[in-house]
Each structure stands twice: as C-alpha cells, then as structure tokens.
Amino acid sequence: MIGKLLLPAWFPAVWLLRIAKWGTVLFIGFSWSWVIAGVLIVADTILAAILPIPYSMYVPSFRKRIAQIKDADAKSGAVLEAILNASKIRGS
C-alpha cells in the first residue's frame, strides 16, 4: 500500500514496457525459436538480479511524492516521512 502511494504518477507506464518485453519474447518464440526466447528470459532474469536499480535512486522521488502528499494531508505526509527516515538508506 505504501509503495503504491509513494510511486510517481508516471510509474504505471512501466507496464507498457513489460507488456512490450513479453510480447517481443513471444514473437521471437513463435517466429524464430523458443530456445532463443528462453535464453533471453534467463538473461533478463540474471541481469535484473545482478544490476537492480539501487534503493537510494528511488529516495529522491519518494521525498518529492511525500511533499505532494503533505500538501494534501499533513498527517499522512508526516507518517510517510517518518517511515522513509527510519529506513537504512536515506538518500538525498
């Protein structure tokens, strides 16, 4: 619940990229080879595990969103800010 609240407004656009990725894998599987499609899925999974976006990169976006929430509801904004400040990585 808190994650959805803190994500930027553009974040649902990520679903378009995910759909495009899986559509491309299915296209490759049907038109070329399921082996190639499988290798791409495995490579994607390995890269996602090895090269994740660091949490500290999200913190500035979270702080910006909390500021917006504070304008609408000061109490909720203060609670979210306290949660973020209690995290191990504070970012900028």
Interacting residues of 57 by C-beta distance below 8 A, sequence separation 6+: 91
Stated as kind and residue range, the H or E segment containing 23 is: helix 14-31
H/E segment holding residue 91: none
> Would residue 39 count as lying in a domain?
yes
- Domain range holding 44? 10-52
> 48 and 63 in one domain?
no
Whether 88 shows a pLDDT value over 80: the answer reads: no
Query: Which residue in the block uniquely carries the two structure tokens 């190639």?
Result: 36
Can you say whether the dihedral through the CA atoms of 68, 69, 74, 80 is positive or negative? negative
Examine residue 5 and state whether it is found in any structural domain, yes or no: no
What's the whole-model pTM score?
0.62
Task: Look at the block and give the residue holding tokens 């203060």.
Answer: 78
Residue 4 lies in a domain: no
Spatial distance between the Cα atoms of 84 and 73, rounded to a whole number of angstroms: 17
Same domain? For 41 and 14 the reply is: yes
Over residues 54-63, the pLDDT tens digits come to 877 888 888 8
Q: Is residue 91 scored above 60 in pLDDT?
A: no
pLDDT in tens, 21-77: 999 999 999 999 999 999 999 999 999 899 888 877 888 888 898 998 899 889 988
Q: Are residues 44 and 16 in the same domain?
A: yes
pLDDT at 62: 87
